[in-house]
Every structure is written in structure tokens, then in C-alpha cells.
Amino acid sequence: MSETSLDQETAEEYAGWFRALADPTRIRIMRFLSGHTDSVPVGEIVAHLRLNQSTVSHHLKILHTARFLTRRRVGASIRYAVNPRCVTEFPSAADILLGAPVRSCREPGSS
């Protein structure tokens, strides 16, 4: 593979990342969570955004599936945090267009 091309799997991964961020509510969620050092319960995210819990949960699921967020259960609550691996490895659109090294936020050995 040349340094200016992307394999299909990587291109699909990047497209998924951009689709996950292609919504103003998801951008707001990412911004809110990035300001916290600890994971945040869904209720706190709902209160901050002033949206229905079902709406917030839908967006959290998309961000988690794209691996932008981590989640963990604490009692009856699910808490979310920004995935630090994706923060350091998410390529900007300019990086892709300018041929920066290809990176992935997949764990080593996962597909």
C-alpha cells in the first residue's frame, strides 16, 4: 500500500468515525465528557444537555460503538468517558487528506 492510499478496512473505520461525529448532539456529548477526568453517569449528561434520556442514550450508543467512549456499570448506573486511545489516535480530516500515517483506535490484535 502506498503512503497516499488507505486500505478499504481503514477507510471504512475512518468513515465510521466521521459518521459518529456528524451530529451536533454527539459533538456536544464529546465536548462535555472531554471536560471530565472521571466517567460521568448518563443522568448527568442528560441534565447537562437538557434532552430526553432516550435521545442521549441513542447518541451515547453510537459514540461507544465507534469507540470514542468507554462505559462501565456502577451499580444501577452506566458511566461514560472519552476513550483516551481514540483521543490520541483520531485522525483529523486534514491529516487524512495530507497523508499522515494511518492509525487506528482498535486494540492491538482486534478486528
pLDDT in tens, the chain (111 residues): 445 677 788 778 878 888 999 999 999 999 999 999 999 999 999 999 999 999 999 999 999 999 999 999 999 999 999 998 876 666 565 476 567 665 555 555 554
CA proximity to 56, closest of 64, 70, 17: 64
The amino acid at residue 32 is F
Q: Which residues pair with 82 in a beta bridge?
A: 69
**What is the Cβ-side half-sphere exposure of residue 50, based on CA atoms within 13 angstroms?**
0
**Phi and psi for 105 in degrees, rounded to 5?**
-100, 10
The reported pTM is 0.78
Is residue 80 classed exposed, middle or buried when 0-12, 13-18 and 19+ CB atoms within 10 A define those classes?
A: buried
Which cell goes with 68? 470514542
Residue ranges of domains in the chain: 8-97
Q: How many CB atoms lie within 10 A of CB 39?
A: 18
Indicate the CATH number for domain 8-97: 1.10.10.10
